[in-house]
Every structure is written in C-alpha cells, then in structure tokens.
Amino acid sequence: MAESQSGRSPNCPNISPSPLNTQQDSNILLNDQDLEDVSILKDIEEEDVDVDVSQSRSKKRKTEIKKEPRSVHWKDYERVKVMEGNPPIEVVKGKCKRCEVLIAADPRWCGTNGLKNHTLSCSKKFAQGEGSNKGQTVLNYVVDATSGNSSLTSWKFDQKASRLALCEMIILDEQPFRMVEYEGFRRFCKTSIPQLQLPSRQTIRTDCVKLFLERKHGLAKYFKKEGMGRVSITSDCWTAVNNSNFICVTAHFIDKEWRLHKRIISFSLIEIHKAADIGDSIITKLKDWGLTSLFCCTMDNAYANDGAIGDVKSYLNKFNSNVLDGKYFHMRCVGHILNLIVQYGLEEIGTSVRRVREAVKWLTSSPKRILQWAKVVNILADRIDCKKALCLDVPTRWNSTYLMLQSAIPYEEAFQLYSQMYPSYKKDLSQKKHNDAFIGLLEGQDWINVKKMIEYLQKFYELTVLMSDTKYPTSHIFFAEMCDIFDLISELEVSDDHEISSMALKMRMKIGKYWAEDMELNPRMNRILYIAAVLDPRQKMNHVETCFKSIYRDARGEIMVRDVTYALNELFDYYVAQKEAQNPAQHQKDAANENMRRQGRSDRRGSLSLVGLRGNR
C-alpha cells in the first residue's frame, strides 16, 4: 500500500528535493539503498552543472568573437563605448587614430560607411599637411638666384602659400588665367605636387585681384608711414597700334635698409598726349596714393611734358613740399636723349642701314626663306664662326638697330652667296623704295659703313643699358659716362673718314642742346646729376673738376665748378632748414653739442700748445 500510495516503483530512486529538508523527516535514518540513491542524484546534478558551464563558456566565446570588428575600415579607428541619448544608452563609436574624431559605428543602427567616408577626408587632410603631422618638414636644397649661394633648409607644403605663388607666377609671366585648366599643367602639378589643389580660372582670377588690392593697400600704407622719405616718379606715354593713348607712372624710392624699389602706380588711358591731359593724369594718381613729397619727375623730352611738369609742380607747391621750389624737379630721360643723338647721327649712313634692314626683313619673312638661309649658312660653316640668328630692328629705337647690325655683320659672305643662289632675293629687294627712292641691294661699301658705325655705337649701347636699369641707382654714374660720350664724339670729329666726321658733328649739335654748357649754363641740364657725382666717394669734386676742364677747357671748367659748388651748398642749406623746422628743440640741442665739441677741440689744442712751450723751456 505504501508503495502504491507513493507512486514510486521499487527500482526508481526518489529525486524529490523536499524530504530531506523537512523538519518532520530530519531524524529518519537512511539505509544503504537511500544513500546510493542520493549519490546518484549528486552525480546527475554535477553533470548538469558541467554541461551548463561548458555551454555558457562556448556562448561567451562566440559572443566575444562576434564583438571583434570584421570591417577593414576599423584599422584606422579605436572601438569605444559612449553614453548618448535621453535616457542615456551605451553606443559604439569609432575614434580616429589620426584626428581623434568620434564616428558613429554602432552595428545596431549604422554600418561602417561613416568610417569609410571619414578615412577618405582625413587622409586628404593629412596629405595636404592639415592634420596632426602638419608640422613635419622636409629638407630642401635651395640656391639663391641673386647671390648664387646654396643652403640646406627645411620645407613643408602649405596650400595657401602655394596658391599665392601660383598667382605671382601668372602675374609675373603674364600668363592667362585659364592656364590653371591646361591639361599639361594639371598633369605636371599632379605628378610633382600631388597635394596641390588647383583652382579654376575664375578662382585664380579672384585670387589675383585680391593679391593686387592687398599689395596696393600695403604700398599706400607704406607711403603714409612716418619718416617716409621722398619719392621720385617716371612717366612714359605712347600710342598703341589701335591708336589708344596710354600713360604709365612709376614710383622709385629707397627703404630704411637703403634698398632701391620700383612700383608702377598708374597704367591708364588718356585722351591725347597734351600737357593738360598728362598733368591731370599724374596729379590724379598722386592724390589717389597720397603722395605729396616728391623729389623729381623723369619724362621724355617732349614739348607737352614741359607743360605737364609745370602743372605737377604747381600742385605740389600747395603742400610746400617742392625742393627749392622745384628747381631740380624736371629730369629729362637720358635714354631718350641718347636715342635722339644716335638717330640723328645714323642719318649719314641711313642708306646702308636701310639696305641691311630690308635684307633681314626679306630673309625672315617666311619659313621657306629661313630654311634656304640655313642651307647657305651651312655651306659656309667653316668660314662663319657665329651662331646668332638674324633679328629685325624697330626703326625708332636705335638700340634695336645696333643689335640688328651686330647680328648681320658676321654673315656678310652668306648674304652674297644667297643672292647668287636665289634670284628672287635680288629681284624683290631691287624694287624696294624709301621716300620714292629705290633702296637697292647690299654692296661692299654698305658693309664698310656698317662695320665702322657699329664700333662707335657700342659705347652708346652700353651707356643706354647701364642707365636703363632700375635695380640700382644711376644718377651718380651718369656724369662720368657723359664725359666718355663727349670724348668719343671729339675723337670721331677728327676722323679721316668724311662720313664719320660728319656724323660726329651732327651728334655734337644734338648733344649740345641737352647737355653741353660750353658757352652758358644749359637750362635743360639738371644740376642734381653733377651733385650726385660730387657725393660719390669715388669721384668727389676733384674728379668733377677734372672732367669739366677736359670738356670745356680750364676757364669754362672753373666757372662750372663754382656753379656746382653753389648748387651743392644751396641744397645742403635747404635740408638744414627743413630739419630745423621739423624739430627746433633737437636742432638747438645738436647746435649746443657741436659748439661744445668745437670748444673741447680748441681747449685741447691750447693745452698741447702750453705743453710744447714748457717742453721748449
């Protein structure tokens, strides 16, 4: 009955958990069968626990494996967990190993596209030097273009500096804005400077205009700085091929480091080359730049320019800024005067020069003739030791005429052989006219005239190149060069060749109009050129006196020396008065110090005299 009530078979152990834990059955003694049943129960429970532990460990390992990022984009990121939202929840984000930016990358809501996009943009920043390694520099071997010295310097890429250099290149080389869109230029930049982002032509135009306005504002600010010295200007007028009239005004000044600078402050159209228009244009630009303290203005020797100079001087007189009331304000262009002198002298051999000009023009007028000329030169290669190409001149610029003659003289035999090989050369040139007169072919006498002339033109050409440079002062070197020109003309005047002596007489007449002062003082000659030579420590007054006596003889030379001495003292007194007016207290202090120095010198001299007297006793 008991067995049937309990519902337990005799072979099945009782695995109910309650009997042993009840107070009622706590004192019941267990027999062997019961103990065996209990041990079996424990073994079963331990096996169940082992299975559960192993299963949980396996699940944990699988979970850990799943938590490891499998995308290749995670290689540049660190997996971090942050609390976000309201209420806050834990989300997974990727922390960039370069810029440390957090990118959303929780697999529950988003994938790795955010990581991928940020990697591309962040890599571009680092390539351009904008990331955390932007301070990294590269060693670069640099050679100074001016001095030729080389040095090893550090360099790093800078996008802004590269854009600025690109603007300067386009401006200096006069390139079009669309150059930045040329396929070849873009390939070159992509290969050599892959970090550089090339702008469009509209953007580079905006950059160039911005650069121009910045430089203009900076120059205007520099002109208005306290302690800014005087500025000299040059003006040039010309007419374009479309009959448009232009005027260019350039400012020349010296900075505190005594470096000479040149800046174009105006390039504009004018209606006509008249004194009123030229003067108004210059005055307008001076007002725009706030320039009121000028020293001199250099212009071509044209009648209209004399009137324009008067207008500018009247404008500056309002500010009381003219040096000695503008006595030395007008400076006539030396290069222009030399051009007039040489052109006047070249008229004596004008026929020979025109024949050379027409021959060079005919030979260089087509590719076919250039090839024919090259063949002729190759035939005479063993007799012609020259590699220069023929160049055509500008008839109104004698220096280009000099270069044309210089390039043609070595090919005298080639011109003769060409005329024999190609009859069309003779036929065409024999029909050329100048002022209704036939020019004719080159002859032996023409080459003789050209060779004699080229020897003397070289001195004028060298002086023109020397005086036309704007990188160094030229006022102090003019006087010595002018004396050489006078000596050269005097030498040509006594030449046995009638054409050369006649040419020298014409040059003497023209140069006397602007520079000569053998009879009276020349109002066209600016005394500043003499004063600059006196202030040159290599020349001083002794050299100036020697040159005057060499040009004008002793009596006239003495008069010129006295005139220059007076002008120098007058200019010195003007600057002393200007300094007194600017700071009278400082001037009085300087005068007192000078008196004390002089008194000290006299006292020392008196003491030395007493010592000498005592010694004699």
CA distance 390 to 418: 14
Where is mean pLDDT largest: 65-69, 595-599, 607-611?
A: 595-599
Residue 344 has pLDDT above 70, yes or no: yes
**pLDDT score, position 18:** 43
Tell which of 332, 350, 377 closes a domain.
332
- Is 460 a domain residue? yes
Q: Which residues contact 232 (CB under 8 A, 6 or more apart)?
A: 251, 252, 253, 294, 295, 296, 297, 298, 331
**pTM: predicted TM-score of the whole model, two decimal places:** 0.65
Shared-domain flag, residues 213 and 266: no
Shared-domain flag, residues 342 and 328: no
- Is 543 a domain residue? no
Reported confidence tier of residue 524, pLDDT bands at 50, 70, 90: confident
Q: Looking at residues 361-376, what average pLDDT do you find?
A: 91
**pLDDT score, position 180:** 93
Tell me the per-residue pLDDT of 269-298, one tens digit each, with 9 for 90 and over: 998 888 999 999 999 999 999 899 999 999
- Is 471 a domain residue? yes
User: Six-digit token pair at 24?
Assistant: 């009622």
Q: Give, for 212, the enclosing helix (H) or strand (E).
A: helix 201-223
- Is 416 a domain residue? yes
Residue 185 has pLDDT above 90, yes or no: yes
- Is 137 a domain residue? no
Mean pLDDT of the chain: 80
**pLDDT score, position 278:** 92
Of 435 and 168, which is predicted with more confidence? 168
- Is 112 a domain residue? no
Shared-domain flag, residues 235 and 180: no
Tell me the per-residue pLDDT of 478-515, one tens digit each, with 9 for 90 and over: 899 889 888 888 888 888 878 788 888 888 888 888 88
Q: Rg for the chain (alpha carbons), in Å?
A: 48
Smallest Cα–Cα separation from 330: which of 350, 349, 303, 367? 303
**pLDDT score, position 208:** 95
**pLDDT score, position 308:** 92
**pLDDT score, position 145:** 56
Residue 439 has pLDDT above 60, yes or no: yes
Shared-domain flag, residues 477 and 353: yes
**pLDDT score, position 132:** 45
Query: CB count, 10 Å around CB of 312?
Result: 24
Q: Looking at residues 176-201, what average pLDDT do you find?
A: 90
Shared-domain flag, residues 434 and 451: yes
Instruction: Give the residue carrying structure tokens 């000479």.
Output: 260
- Is 465 a domain residue? yes
Shared-domain flag, residues 386 and 437: yes
Shared-domain flag, residues 352 and 486: yes
Reported confidence tier of residue 87, pLDDT bands at 50, 70, 90: confident
Query: CB count, 10 Å around CB of 10?
Result: 6
**pLDDT score, position 285:** 92
Please state whether beta strands 294-299 and 330-332 pair in parallel, antiparallel, or not at all (unpaired): parallel
Q: Looking at residues 41-53, what average pLDDT do you find?
A: 51
Q: Which domain holds residue 167?
A: 157-223
* Number of folded domains that form the chain: 4
Interior CA angle at 524 toward 261 and 259, to 5°?
A: 10
Query: For the range 402-405, what are the long-range contacts, defined as Cβ-Cβ under 8 Å and sequence gap of 24 or more?
Result: 402/454, 402/457, 402/458, 402/460, 402/461, 404/356, 404/357, 404/360, 405/353, 405/356, 405/450, 405/453, 405/454, 405/457
CATH number of residue 297's parent domain:
3.30.420
Residues pairing with 141 in the sheet: 152
Shared-domain flag, residues 303 and 368: no
- Is 98 a domain residue? no
Tell which of 194, 223, 252 closes a domain.
223
Q: Give, for 299, the enclosing helix (H) or strand (E).
A: strand 294-299
Tell which of 488, 516, 544 closes a domain.
516
**pLDDT score, position 54:** 52
First to last CA, the chain: 170
CA distance 200 to 178: 8
Shared-domain flag, residues 479 and 364: yes
Q: Which of 35-44, 265-274, 294-303, 549-558 has the lowest mean pLDDT?
A: 35-44
Q: How many helices (H) and strands (E) does the chain have?
A: 20, 12
Shared-domain flag, residues 210 and 264: no
**pLDDT score, position 21:** 44
Smallest Cα–Cα separation from 293: which of 314, 322, 315, 263? 322
Residues pairing with 248 in the sheet: 236, 267
Identify the sign of the CA torsion 513, 518, 523, 525. Answer: positive
Residue 320 has pLDDT above 70, yes or no: yes
Question: What share of the chain has pLDDT > 70, as a percent?
Answer: 79
Tell me the per-residue pLDDT of 109-123, one tens digit each, with 9 for 90 and over: 887 888 888 888 775
Smallest Cα–Cα separation from 562: which of 517, 509, 511, 515? 517
Of 465 and 227, which is predicted with more confidence? 465
Smallest Cα–Cα separation from 429: which of 496, 362, 343, 529? 362
Shared-domain flag, residues 492 and 503: yes
**pLDDT score, position 264:** 92
DSSP label at residue 199: P
Residue 422 has pLDDT above 80, yes or no: yes
Reported confidence tier of residue 598, pLDDT bands at 50, 70, 90: low
Reported confidence tier of residue 136, pLDDT bands at 50, 70, 90: low
Question: What share of the chain has pLDDT > 90, as a percent?
Answer: 25
DSSP label at residue 519: S
Shared-domain flag, residues 504 and 391: yes
Identify the sign of the CA torsion 84, 88, 92, 96. Answer: positive
Instruction: Give the residue carrying structure tokens 């910045």.
Output: 214
